[in-house]
C-alpha cells in the first residue's frame, strides 16, 4: 500500500509540475510577445537594406486575392522583385497578376507558368522555376493568402543579422466578418501564439512557411529548394537545415496577416488536423504526449486530481479557478497581438474560446484516427520522419 501511495504521490507531483510549466509558458509568451511584437525601426538606413526576391505560389483565386497581392506591390522597400509562380496557364489568378503588373509598371514583377516536378510537394513544384530565376540572395516565400503592411519587408530584413539564416513571421489573421474569422483570431492569438512565441524563446524549431525569409546560398548548400520537395512540411525541414548548419532562425516583430477571403470553421479544422498529422510524423513525442496534456481542459482535469491528492483542495473548485486563469491569460495574449483591445465583443471571445478548447482535443483524436492528408485536391500518406507518398485513386471506365 505504501508503494502505491508513493507512486501516486510521484504522479501527482509530475502532473502539478507540468501545470506549473504550462502556466510559465503562458507568462513567458505574453512577456516575450509584448517585448517583440509591433516594433518600429526608425533608424534603418534604406540604402543599406539587401535585395529580396519574393516567391508567390498561386493556385486558383479567392475573393481577397487581389487585395493581398496588391499589398506587395505597395511595399516600401528599396530593392525587391515579385516572382509569381502559377501552376497552370489557364489558372484564373494569371489575370489578377497581369492586371497588377500593368497597374504598377515600376515594380519589378514577373510571372512563371507551369512549375516543374521536382518532388511530391505541390508548393515546391510550383515555385521551382521562379526560385531558379531569383536574382537576390534573400528569398521570401509568401503564400497567396498573406497580406502585408508596407513596412513588413523592412522589419524582416532588420532581423536578418549576420548570424541569422532564416526569419519568419508568426501566423495571425486579419480582421474579417463573421464568427469563423473571430474563431481563427482566437485560435491563432491564444493557443497557437503561446506555442509559437515560447518555442522561439526556448530555441525550438517551429518556423511556418507561409511567410519566411531565408538566405538562398545556404539553401543551395542544403541541396536547393527542390531538395525539400520530398516533404509536405517543407518549412520545418528548411528551418532545420539552417539550424543544422549553425545558423539561427528568428521570428520578426510583424505577424503574418492571413487574409483568405474563403474561410469557415470546418476549413480551419481541416488545416489544424493536417498540421497535427504532420507534427505526429515529424515530432511524435511532442504531438502524441506533450500536446494533449498541455490543453486547458485536459491539463485542468489531471491537475484537479493532483492538487486534491497533494493539498486536499476541492477538485471542482480548483478546475473552475484553473479555467478562469487560462481564460484570462489567453485574453491577455490576444490583446498583445492586437496591440490593444480586441476587434470583437467579449461574448464572441468567450464563445470562440470555449469552442476551441472543446473542439481541439477532438481534432487531435481525428488526426490520429485518419493518417491520410488531403491537400490541394490530392491525397498523401505520411511516413515516419515526415516523408510522404501520394495516393492515387483508381479510375474505372
With vertex at residue 252, the alpha carbon angle to CA 123 and CA 215, rounded to the nearest 5 degrees, is 55
What are the catalytic residues? 235
- In 205-243, which positions are buried (b, 16+ CB within 10 angstroms) versus exposed (e)? bbbbbbbbbbbbebbeebeebbbbbbbbbbbbbbbbbbb
Contact status, residue 251 vs residue 170, Cβ threshold 8 Å = yes
- Rounded to the nearest 10 degrees, the angle between the axes of helix 2-36 and helix 315-338 is 20
List, as one string, the DSSP characters of 78-98. Answer: SSEEEEEEES-TT-THHHHHH
Per-residue cell: 362? 477532438
List, edge to edge, every strand of the sheet that includes 171-173: 146-147, 256-258, 171-173
Dist CA 265 CA 54 (whole Å): 30
Distance CA 191, CA 36 (A): 18
3-state secondary structure of 162: coil
In terms of residues, how long is the chain?
A: 397
Amino acid at each position: 500500500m505504501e508503494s502505491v501511495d508513493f507512486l501516486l504521490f510521484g504522479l501527482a507531483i509530475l502532473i502539478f509540475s507540468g501545470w506549473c510549466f504550462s502556466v510559465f509558458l503562458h507568462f513567458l509568451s505574453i512577456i516575450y510577445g509584448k517585448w517583440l511584437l509591433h516594433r518600429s525601426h526608425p533608424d534603418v538606413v534604406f540604402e543599406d537594406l539587401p535585395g529580396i526576391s519574393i516567391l508567390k505560389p498561386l493556385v486558383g483565386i479567392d475573393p481577397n486575392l487581389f487585395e493581398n497581392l496588391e499589398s506587395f506591390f505597395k511595399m516600401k522597400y528599396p530593392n525587391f522583385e515579385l516572382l509569381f509562380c502559377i501552376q497552370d496557364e489557364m489558372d484564373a489568378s494569371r489575370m489578377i497578376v497581369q492586371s497588377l503588373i500593368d497597374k504598377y509598371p515600376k515594380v519589378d514583377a514577373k510571372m512563371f507558368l507551369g512549375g516543374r516536378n521536382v518532388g511530391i510537394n505541390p508548393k515546391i513544384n510550383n515555385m521551382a522555376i521562379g526560385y531558379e530565376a531569383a536574382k537576390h540572395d534573400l528569398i521570401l516565400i509568401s503564400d497567396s493568402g498573406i497580406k502585408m503592411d508596407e513596412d513588413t519587408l523592412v522589419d524582416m530584413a532588420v532581423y536578418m543579422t549576420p548570424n541569422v539564416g532564416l526569419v519568419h513571421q508568426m501566423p495571425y489573421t486579419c480582421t474579417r466578418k463573421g464568427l469563423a474569422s473571430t474563431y481563427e483570431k482566437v485560435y491563432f492569438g491564444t493557443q497557437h501564439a503561446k506555442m509559437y512565441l515560447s518555442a522561439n524563446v526556448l530555441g525550438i524549431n517551429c518556423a511556418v512557411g507561409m511567410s519566411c525569409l531565408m538566405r538562398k546560398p545556404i539553401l543551395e548548400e542544403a541541396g536547393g529548394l527542390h531538395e525539400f520537395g520530398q516533404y509536405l512540411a517543407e518549412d520545418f525541414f528548411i528551418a532545420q537545415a539552417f539550424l543544422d548548419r549553425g545558423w539561427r532562425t528568428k521570428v520578426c516583430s510583424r505577424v503574418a496577416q492571413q487574409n483568405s477571403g474563403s474561410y469557415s470553421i470546418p476549413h480551419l479544422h481541416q488545416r489544424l488536423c493536417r498540421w497535427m498529422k504532420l507534427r505526429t510524423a515529424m515530432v511524435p513525442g511532442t504531438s502524441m504526449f506533450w500536446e494533449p496534456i498541455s490543453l486547458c481542459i485536459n491539463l485542468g482535469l489531471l491537475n484537479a486530481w493532483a492538487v486534491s491528492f497533494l493539498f486536499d483542495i476541492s477538485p471542482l473548485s480548483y478546475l473552475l479557478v484553473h479555467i478562469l486563469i487560462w481564460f484570462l491569460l489567453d485574453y491577455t495574449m490576444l490583446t498583445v497581438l492586437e496591440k490593444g483591445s480586441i476587434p470583437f465583443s467579449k461574448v464572441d471571445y468567450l464563445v470562440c474560446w470555449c469552442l476551441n478548447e472543446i473542439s481541439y482535443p477532438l481534432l487531435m483524436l481525428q488526426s490520429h484516427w485518419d493518417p491520410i492528408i488531403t491537400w490541394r485536391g490530392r491525397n498523401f500518406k505520411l511516413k515516419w520522419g515526415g516523408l510522404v507518398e501520394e495516393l492515387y485513386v483508381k479510375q474505372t471506365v
